[in-house]
Structure 1
Amino acid sequence: MRLRLILSLIATVTLPASAINTAGIIASSLSAPCLEYKVVGICYWLLCTPYGCSVKTSVKVKHYIPDLVVSSYSNTGDNPWSEMAFLGVSIPIIAESGGNTNARPSNEKTQTRFKNADAIGHPSSEAFYKFLSGFGYSCSGSATAFQPYFISTLDALAWRTGLPESLYPEALIPGQREVKQTGDLWGNVFPRAGALSQTHDYKVGAVIAQRVADIVTRAGQPHVYLPLTASHSPGYWPPESVQEGKTNNHKWQMLAPRLDNSCAIFPDRSTLDTYSDKLAADGGYAWALWRPYSCCQRRGQTFLGSTGG
C-alpha cells in the first residue's frame, strides 16, 4: 500500500521547467525501468562449523543504482538542482560567468559553448532502498548522498583551459572517445573540460555530463574531484568506470529541464530527432547517473565463486 502511494505521487510532482528540487529527485529514483532488477546467477560459499564443512548457495542479483546527480549549466551558480546550486557559485577571477565562449550568428554551422558542471551524490538513499527492498535481496551503492564529487568552479584551471588533456591522443586523434551515433557526432569526451564545439545546446549539456562521469568514476585524474570508486569483495561486484556508448556500463535519467521515468545512454534518440522537447531555455540540464551493481548474500566464511553475469 505504501509503495503504491509513493509511486502515485511521482505523477503529481510538478517543477519549474528549468529546475528540480530534492523531493523531485527522490521521487524520480522510484523507477523500475531504470532499476532493471534481475536474478542473474548463483553464488557458492563454504560454511564450516565444529561439525564439518558444507557448501551453501545464495541468489546472485544485478540492478542499477542512482549514484550521482550530474548537472551541466551555462551560468555559474545556476545548477538546476535548486538546493545544491550554492556549491557552484562563482569564484572571483578564477571561475566566473559561463555560456558561449565564442558566440556566432545562429545560422553558423559551428559554435563553441561553455558549461559549468557538478556531480553530487544522489539524495534518494532511504526512499530508494525501501522501494528496492520490494524486489528482494539488493546491493548497496558506493556513493554518499549529497556528497560533492565534482564542482567545476573548484577545478577551474583544468575545466576552463582544457589542459593538460587537450594534448592527450584521445583529444587529438579523430574518432577516439566520442559521443556519437551514425551520422550524428555529439562531441568528443577529451579534453574533459567545459567548452565544446557544438551548435545544439542539449547535446552540449549531455557531452559535458558524460565528461564529468568519466572523470569522477576513475581515480588519479588531473582534476580537482573526489573519486567515486569501489573495490570488489566476496559476493559484491561494483560497476566499472563509466564509458560512453556502453549500454551495460551506465545509463542516464533526465531530471531537468524535464523529468523522465526511463533511462538511456547518449545519444539517446534517433539521428533525425531535434531534441526540442529537451532543450533548456536557460541552458541548465541535470541527469541521474545510474550504474549496475551485482551481489549475493553471504552464506559462509569463504566465497567459492559464482555463475551468471
Structure 2
Amino acid sequence: MLVFASAAITSTAFSTPAHAVNTAQIVAATANTQCMEWSVVGVCFWLKCYPCKVRTSMKVKHYIPEVVVSSYANTGANPWSEMSSLGSAKPGAEGGGNLITPNNKRDNLPRFKNADVIGHPADYVLSNMGDYICDSATTGFRPYYLSTLDVPGWRWGVTEMLYPQSIIPGRREIQKGMNGWGSVYPRQGFLVQGDDGKAGAVMAQRAADFVVRTGQPHVYKSIHARRKESRGWWPPGSYEDPLIEGSMKTHKWQQLHPSVSNSCEVWPTTGLVEQDEQGGYAYALWRPYRCCEPKGTFLYSIGQ
C-alpha cells in the first residue's frame, strides 16, 4: 500500500476541475418522497402532570440525508463546489489521481480517490418542518472526515492492515451474485477497479463505514449518536447495525454528481454506472430515524 501511495503522488498531472454541484442543488434534491420514505410505525406513551394523565403521540420513521460523501481523484477537487477548499492539499497529501493508463486493456491498476464527509446542508431545512420530522444527528456543512488529514489511514492504509476483513478475501464485499464492485476493507483510498464510477462508490462506502461508528483507526468525527428515549428520538444504529453494505434497512445513497438522481439506492446496482471525466463523485447518505413528539415524561413505545 505504501508503494501505491508513492506512485500516485508522483505520477499525476493535475487540471482545474469544473465543479458541477452546488449547495442549492443538493438541498433541492432532498424534496424526494422515495428517499425519505416517511411512515407511522408505532405509538409513544408519555406521563403528563398536573393533573397526571397518560398522553400519546405517533412514532414515525423516515430517512434523513445526514452527510454528503465525496470521492474524487485530484486533491482539492471535491465536486461540491462550496466545500472544495476543505480538501485542499496538506503536508503528506499533496498528490492524487489514478494509475490507470489510456489503454482499455489495462484495467488492473489501482485507482486512488480522496474522500470528504460533510454535513448535509438540508439539515437546516428539515429541522424546521414540524414535530413529525426527526432531528438529524449531524450538522449541515460540518466536516466529519477529510482524507487529506488522515494520511496514514487513507493514503498508506497502515491502520487497516490487521483487520480480518482486510486480509481474508470475500469479507465485507459490495457484491450481489456475480456483480461485485469491490471490498469495504481495507478502508483506504486505493482500489483495483476498471470502472471509475464503481470505484468512486466503493470509496464513499468505505469512508461512510467508519464515520458512522466510534473508535475506528482514522482521524474523523463520528456521526454515531445514542438513542434518547426521554425525548422520543432513536437515531440510526438504535435498532440495527449503523451501516451494512447492500442493506436498505441501514442506509440509502442518492447520487449528486456527475448528475443529481431522483431516487435512492444501495450498491451494487445493475446496469452501467455513470462516470465523471475528472474522477469526481458526490453522494448523499440517507439513514433511518425514528421519533415521537414529546408530550411529557417518556414511559414506553410500541411498534418498530
TM over 0.5: yes
**Residue of structure 2 equivalent to 1:290:** 286
> Is the 1:104–1:111 contact (alpha carbons within 8 Å) kept by the matching residues of 2?
no
Kindly state the Cα deviation for residue 229 of structure 1 after the two structures are TM-superposed.
1.5
* Separation of aligned partners in 1, 2:168 and 2:152: 23
Residue 48 of structure 1 deviates from its aligned partner by 3.4
* Paired residues for 1:219-258 under 5 Å: 219-234=214-229, 235-240=232-237, 241-258=242-259
Q: Distance in 2 between matches of 1:69 and 1:143?
A: 11
The residue that corresponds to 1:13 in the other structure is: none
Distance 2:213 2:287 in 1: 14
Counterpart in the other structure of 1:182: 177
Q: Distance in 1 between matches of 2:18 and 2:300?
A: 49
**Match for residue 70 of structure 2?**
71
* Structure 1 pair 231–217 and aligned structure 2 pair: CA distance change class (3 A): same
- Give yes or no for the alignment of 1:108 onto 2:93: no
Question: Alpha-carbon deviation of 1:129?
Answer: 4.2
Q: Deviations over 1:133-174 (max 9, x none)?
A: 4xx622100111110000000001111111121221001112
Aligned with residue 213 of structure 1, among 208, 212, 221: 208
Give the secondary structure class of the aligned counterpart of 2:220: coil
**For 1:13-43, what per-residue CA distance to the aligned partner results, in whole angstroms no more than 9, with x for missing partners?**
xxx9862011111111111111111011111
- Supply the distance in 2 between the matched residues of 1:250 and 1:243 (Cα, whole angstroms): 8
1:36-75 to structure 2, matched below 5 A, reads: 36-49=37-50, 51=51, 53-75=52-74
Output the amino acid matched with 2:41. V
What's the counterpart of residue 144 of structure 2? 149
Deviation at 1:62, TM superposition (A): 0.6
Please tell me whether the aligned partners of residues 100 and 107 of structure 2 are also in contact (alpha carbons under 8 angstroms).
no
Q: Which amino acid is the alignment partner of residue 125 of structure 1?
A: D
CA contact under 8 A between 1:179 and 1:244: conserved in structure 2?
Answer: yes
Q: Provide the residue aligned with 2:96 in structure 1.
A: 98
1:73/1:285 contact within 8 Å kept: yes
Q: 1:106 to 1:18 in 2, by over 3 A?
A: farther
Distance in 1 of aligned mates of 2:167 and 2:161: 7
* d(CA) in 2 for partners of 1:56, 1:119: 40
CA-CA distance at 1:100 after TM superposition? 1.7
Structure 1 window deviating more from structure 2 (244-253 vs 16-25): it is 16-25
- Unaligned runs of at least 5 residues, structure 2: 1-16
Letter in 2 for 1:20: V
TM-score, normalising length from structure 2?
A: 0.88
Secondary structure of residue in 2 paired with 1:293: strand
Per the alignment, in what secondary structure is the counterpart of residue 247 of structure 1?
Answer: coil
Aligned to 1:191: 186
Shift of 1:106: 1.9
What residue in structure 2 maps to residue 124 of structure 1?
122
Give 1:45 shift: 1.6
2:85 paired residue number:
86
State the 1:47 CA deviation: 2.5
| Counterparts of 2:291 and 2:127, CA distance in 1 | 15
Q: Residue type matched to 2:43 in 1?
A: I
DSSP 3-state at the match of 1:164: helix
- Could you tell me whether the CA contact under 8 Å between 1:18 and 1:282 is conserved in 2? no
Distance in 2, Cα, partners of 1:117 & 1:107? 27
| More displaced stretch, 107-116 vs 226-235 | 107-116
Pick which of 252-261 and 16-25 moved more. Answer: 16-25
Instruction: Please say if 1:203 is aligned against 2:202.
Output: no
Percent identity among equivalent residues? 50
SS of match in other structure, 1:287: strand
TM-score, normalised relative to structure 1: 0.87
| Other-structure match for 2:164 | 169
Counterpart CA distance in 2 for 1:199 and 1:96 is 24
